[in-house]
Amino acid sequence: MILITGATGTVGRPLVAELAATGHPVRALTRASRTARFPAGVESCDSANPDLDGVTAVFVNPAALWRSEQTLFDAAKAAGVTRVVTLSSSSVLSGDSHHAVANRHRELEAAAESVAPEFVHLRPDAFAANARQWIGQVKSGDTVVGPYAQAVTAPVHEDDIAAVAARALTGGILSGEAPMLTGPQALSFTEQVRILGAALGRPLCYEEISHPAARDAMLSSPWMTEEIADSLLRYFASCVETPTPVSPDLERILGRRGRTFEDWAADRIAEFR
């Protein structure tokens, strides 16, 4: 049995679907275990009370654990889980020791390593799905405003992260590894918005706003903290100076090129209309 935390999340959904489609027994954790819909055969389980009975491998999404991972890890250890796969972040590779997101994932990785004899840390770069933050602006106009227009990341499609996670959970591969998962292209925010416009069939442009204006805008979101906003803005600034490199890891593991940002836009463009 494979236990998936964050089963309704960006990576969790396609991961549960892929595992179910390939015949693996899956227990999907969610706060909405009574109402959440999963593919046939998938067990739904309340994330506040995870059932580890019969579980051999666990996918750990820290966004779904909110610092409660130690409870899950203790239960996993007691249940004799043999493999843990974490959804970490490429931010752990940054030299920024004050990076709140990086430090959260560094702690998670370290804690996960004592849970099971085998562990894999997936370190994605920016999710292509982060473009969803622009849906409101795209629906109401042709300009997306945001910080650091020339910040270059290598956005990765969530279905590709899920495909790597499925292999790590079931294939007995990658033990002790921490692959950096990027898409196949390094793209600035300006280029990403232009690609979305091409998928929509109308030109879109990215208008850069100042660091303080972007910080204020980020802090208007109820879940954003000053620590995270400052870390992310420092990260975007660093991506102007040093563009994120495209990593070979995803292609090596999947044996095919990763999906492009154009692919992501084609898959999700209905959400922007």
Binders of ligand NAP in range 208-267 (CB under 6 A): none
- Position 124 contacts ligand NAP (CB under 6 A): yes
Q: Is 8 helix (H, G, I), strand (E, B) or coil?
A: coil
Binders of ligand NAP in range 56-75 (CB under 6 A): 61-64, 66
- Position 31 contacts ligand NAP (CB under 6 A): yes
Nearer Cβ to ligand NAP, position 202 or 224? 224
Q: Is 89 left (phi over 0), alpha (psi -120 to 50) or beta?
A: beta
Nearer Cβ to ligand NAP, position 102 or 138? 102
Q: 19, 166 in Cβ contact below 8 A?
A: yes
Q: Are strands 43-46 and 57-60 parallel, antiparallel or unpaired?
A: unpaired
- Position 130 contacts ligand NAP (CB under 6 A): yes
Nearest to 126 by CA among 207, 30, 192, 215: 192
CB of 109 to ligand NAP, least distance (A): 11
- Position 30 contacts ligand NAP (CB under 6 A): yes
Q: Could you say which of 87, 131, 163, 218 contacts ligand NAP (CB under 6 A)? A: 87
Nearer Cβ to ligand NAP, position 86 or 170? 86
CB of 188 to ligand NAP, least distance (A): 16
Q: Which stretch binds ligand NAP (CB under 6 A): 123-131, 238-246, 250-258, 264-272?
A: 123-131
If one counts every other C-beta atom within 10 angstroms of the C-beta of residue 98, the result is 10
Distance (Å, whole) CA 25 – CA 170: 11
Distance (Å, whole) CA 130 – CA 244: 16
Distance (Å, whole) CA 21 – CA 14: 10
Residues making contact with ligand NAP (CB under 6 A): 6, 8-12, 30-32, 36, 47, 61-64, 66, 87, 89, 101, 124, 126-127, 130
